[in-house]
Amino acid sequence: MPKSKTHLFGRKDVDLSEVCKVLAHPARIAILKELSKRRECVCGEIVNLIPLAQATVSQHLKELKSLGLITGEIEGPKSCYCIHWKRLEEVADSLGEFFDHLKTNYKQCC
């Protein structure tokens, strides 16, 4: 596509679309689900649970991290990824608010 046009849209719309973009891949959905299941952040297993190459999983983890949905500390041969619950709540709320906002204008028309 020629030049990106995101700057022509409102901050809120862009933010929301970026949240959705991060969630717009089954691997990232699956990673969030798996991470939520585990009490301890033994997350080396993530690579084995996701049917993609290690490098690819690492890339998906990075995107989740960039949105703040997960936190990760790596110590050499170990890593510790887990869900950043506070941020997850924020993200869930902003999506919820978006739908609620649409619904406040509900007027059946066709």
- Kindly state the smallest distance separating residue 65's Cβ from its own copies, in Å: 13
**Choices 32-40, 76-84, 85-93, 94-102; region in contact with DNA by CB under 7 A:** 76-84
Cα dihedral 25, 28, 32, 34 sign: positive
Query: Of 76, 75, 80, 69, which Cα lies nearest the Cα of 42?
Result: 80
Name which position in 37, 48, 76, 77 contacts its own copies (CB under 8 A). 37
Q: Is 21 in the site for its own copies (CB under 8 A)?
A: yes
Q: Is 2 in the site for DNA (CB under 7 A)?
A: yes
Q: Is 75 helix (H, G, I), strand (E, B) or coil?
A: strand
Q: Is 61 in the site for DNA (CB under 7 A)?
A: yes
CB contact burial 38-53 (16+ within 10 A = b; e otherwise):
eeebebeebbeebeee
Type of residue at 50: I
Helix 11-23 to helix 54-66 angle (10° resolution) is: 150
Between residues 11 and 76, which has the closer beta carbon with respect to its own copies? 11
Q: Is 24 in the site for its own copies (CB under 8 A)?
A: yes
Interface contacts to DNA, rule CB under 7 A: 1-6, 21, 24-25, 27, 43-44, 47, 52-56, 58-63, 72, 74-79
